[in-house]
Structure 1
Amino acid sequence: MLAITAFVGMGDVITPETFEWAANDPKIIKASTIICRFIDDIAEHKFNHRREDDCSAIECYMEQYGVTAQEAYDEFNKHIESS
């Protein structure tokens, strides 16, 4: 969504083909989505920047796999690096 929004803000420079390309979910957009999401999940958990009723991906991972927060961070960082 952010990529499309950025393209809209560029005005006439962006062609309809650019939007078609982005709509086909290219690898670079998938990777940036994963990177942004996982970095945000780690930061929110580390600094507790979430509301009480929000579910943390880190906490869900910890509960599902019975690991510590650091182990969950490490696993998320592996996905970030591979993306």
Structure 2
Amino acid sequence: MTRDIYRKQLIDLYAEGRSVDEICAEHNVPKSTFYRWIRKARSAQPDISEDDIRTIVMRIEQLEEETMTYKKILQLIKKVDK
């Protein structure tokens, strides 16, 4: 098992609700080291889910359609004013 996999497993235990004290004592890891691993893991992970991305993309598409509609309306208004 590589160090990265081992670290991830310990961080997963923490994410599941185990205490830092318990994990560090059981695996003989200094708390300061474990907290550094947690910070590093959090900074490496995106804070946005796939569902969030899909929602954002759908909203962008809707806004682009609205923008095109407004542009067409503006062109029609300009033609009428001439």
Specify the TM-score bucket, using the shorter chain as the normaliser.
under 0.3
Higher relative contact order (CA 8 A, sep 6+): 1
Q: Which has the higher helix share?
A: 2
Greater C-alpha radius of gyration = 2
TM-score w.r.t. the length of structure 1 is 0.28
TM-score w.r.t. the length of structure 2 is 0.28
